[in-house]
Amino acid sequence: MTGRERDLLADMRDVLINQEMLQARIQELARAIEADYTDKSDLLLICVLKGGYIFLADLSRALQRPHEIDFMGVSSYGARTESSGEVRIVMDLKQPVAGRNILVVEDIIDSGRTLDYMRRNLLARSPASLRIVSLLNKPSRREVDVPVDYIGFDIPDEFVVGYGLDFAELYRNLPFVGVLKPELFAHLGH
């Protein structure tokens, strides 16, 4: 471990989901997804940037069936720990999704606003089907009801970082999902 990694680890109050738990659950999700898409059906994974990038990389490699990937960048937080409710597309897909079977790959569903917005936006482009997989879910925080087809872990209402999730753009590279020490973000009102 480098000194820098030790510093990031020292900012954690708890490790909520360790590497082994993440990898085991991703294998289970991949099996469930494979079972729902028959061998020859078209499948396009749409990764929600930035937070979904690590999950997408692991899920894509766990899937034992052909699929394509594309990326969509959305932004709703800035440097705060609660959604402003305003979702912006900061990078759109490279390709049309009309007639495709799309699976949206997201890091976490909190209020539900981001996925609700994405879902409506993508449905307006007439895909053949649309499903959603979210690695993490904070059910107690939901404000908008969004149908999520596959969920990795339900977690309590705590601000988490690591495995793609950031706080003010840091901690994404941690190999686990952890809870930050409260003093590090207390002044931001979460």
Residue 112, contacted partner among ligand IMP, Mg ion, none, CB below 5-8 A by kind: ligand IMP
Nearer to ligand IMP among residue 97 and residue 109 (C-beta):
109
166 is catalytic: no
Interface ranges with ligand IMP (CB under 6 A)? 51, 76-77, 83, 106-114, 159-161, 165
Q: Give the bridge partners for 14, in sequence order.
A: 179
Q: How many residues does the chain have?
A: 190
Strand order in the sheet with 12-17: 12-17, 177-180, 160-161
Nearer to ligand IMP among residue 113 and residue 119 (C-beta):
113
Nearer to ligand IMP among residue 17 and residue 165 (C-beta):
165
Nearer to ligand IMP among residue 34 and residue 111 (C-beta):
111
Kindly state the helix (H) or strand (E) to which residue 160 belongs, with its residue range: strand 160-161
Least distance between ligand IMP and beta carbon 86 (Å): 10
Q: Which residue is nearest to Mg ion (CB)?
A: 51
Tell me the per-residue interface mask from 89 to 118 with Mg ion, x by CB under 5 A, - otherwise. Answer: ------------------x-----------
Residues 149 and 9: their CA atoms lie apart, in Å, by 32
Q: How many helices (H) and strands (E) does the chain have?
A: 4, 9
The candidate with the shortest Cα–Cα distance to 179, out of 138, 150, 142, is 138
Least distance between ligand IMP and beta carbon 18 (Å): 17
Cα atoms found within 13 Å of the Cα of residue 60, Cβ hemisphere only? 18
Select which of 110, 149, 154, 166 is catalytic. 110
**Angle at Cα 108 formed by Cα 22 and Cα 188, nearest 5°?**
115
**Residue 51 near Mg ion by CB under 5 A:** yes
Least distance between ligand IMP and beta carbon 19 (Å): 18
The candidate with the shortest Cα–Cα distance to 151, out of 85, 105, 83, 87, is 105
Cα atoms found within 13 Å of the Cα of residue 19, Cβ hemisphere only? 3
Least distance between ligand IMP and beta carbon 114 (Å): 3
Q: Give the catalytic positions in this structure.
A: 110
User: Which residues of the chain form contacts with Mg ion (CB under 5 A)?
Assistant: 51, 107
